[in-house]
Structure 1
């Protein structure tokens, strides 16, 4: 691994931890470089601005979720029905978020700190649309796939917000149980 790649990885890891724990706005560049153990210039050699670092953080969180989802979906039996396929989205959220100090969805938390029209907010909106698309595709060929995917997406995101406010991932687990009933997998 090149020194530049190593510094980039260290910076992203440090930024991810701080952005999730303390927020994007309250996390300064100096803290990130100190946590990463790299010189401040390394940050600017890898990211043109803090906004670019935030964008990489948002994309990284989404990619982590997608990787978990792909693994869970691939583990389903070949004859799994639409309901079981849709529930893998909930399972991926739970697995991706499971751990100490649950604060909700890192993407939504960051978006809440960014001003309207910010590219980061637009990226988060795109990531959330992708989650709804995954649900829609999982539910196909059901006639109600579009409407049900929207309902499940709202249920899932609402549970992430409430769970984050309460510091309790159990809200998301309960949302999964509700979703199981909605898709006929209870």
Structure 2
């Protein structure tokens, strides 16, 4: 008999599925513990409450995306490839197997439900800032700092805008188009 997954991991996995599929506000603690197959006390032994669970969910989503990016970046041999690896990681996210289909960036979806001063919202901003830093570092290898900064902002708009529209349309087509636009910008340097 295989050992059972620890309660914390089961809770986080259930929360990730429910928060992405249904939204944070629409997902109660009872839905999470029911799907995780744990007692309510197990949730409170691992998290101080729903907001702590949401923060942990944001952290898990961040690490999942960073893992997708690491896989793409591992084969990127040029700065151009490293820029496109960011777009490819977004595409990989869009092609994930989601219970109710692709709904866009789980981090942006979560941020849209949180108050402006919520610590989990700040964690989303840190993630987006880290993604921009990946782009900026690769672009600085290709051009001067001012141009790299301008292109970083432009590509961030391409990424986030395409991800938002792709989530609404429930297809990765917009991200594919944004990647092609980014490729054209990089090739023009």
Q: TM-score interval w.r.t. the shorter chain?
A: over 0.9
TM-score by length of 1: 0.92
TM-score under structure 2 normalisation? Answer: 0.91
Shift of 1:2: 8.8
Specify the alignment match of 2:6 in structure 1: 6
Distance in 1, matches of 2:71 and 2:121, equals 27
d(CA) in 1 for partners of 2:23, 2:119: 17
Counterparts of 1:10-89 in structure 2 under 5 Å?
Answer: 10-77=10-77, 80=78, 82-89=79-86
Specify every segment of 5 or more residues in structure 2 that has no aligned partner in the other structure, as ranges: none
Q: Does 1:160 align with 2:160?
A: no
Stretches of structure 1 lacking an aligned partner (at least 5 in a row): none
Number of equivalent positions: 181
Write the distance in 2 (CA, Å) between the matches of 1:172 and 1:21.
20
Corresponding residue for residue 183 of structure 1 = 186
For the aligned residue pairs, the C-alpha RMSD in angstroms reads: 1.6
**Could you report, residue by residue, the CA deviation over 1:9-34 in whole angstroms, capped at 9, with x for unpaired residues?**
10000000000000001100000000
Relative distance call for 1:55 and 1:181 in structure 2 (3 A) is same
Instruction: Tell me the equivalent position of 1:149.
Output: 152
Runs of 4+ in 1 over 2 A off after TM superposition: none
State the alpha-carbon separation in 1 of the partners of residues 104 and 137 from structure 2.
25
Contact 2:94 2:171 in 1 (8 A): no
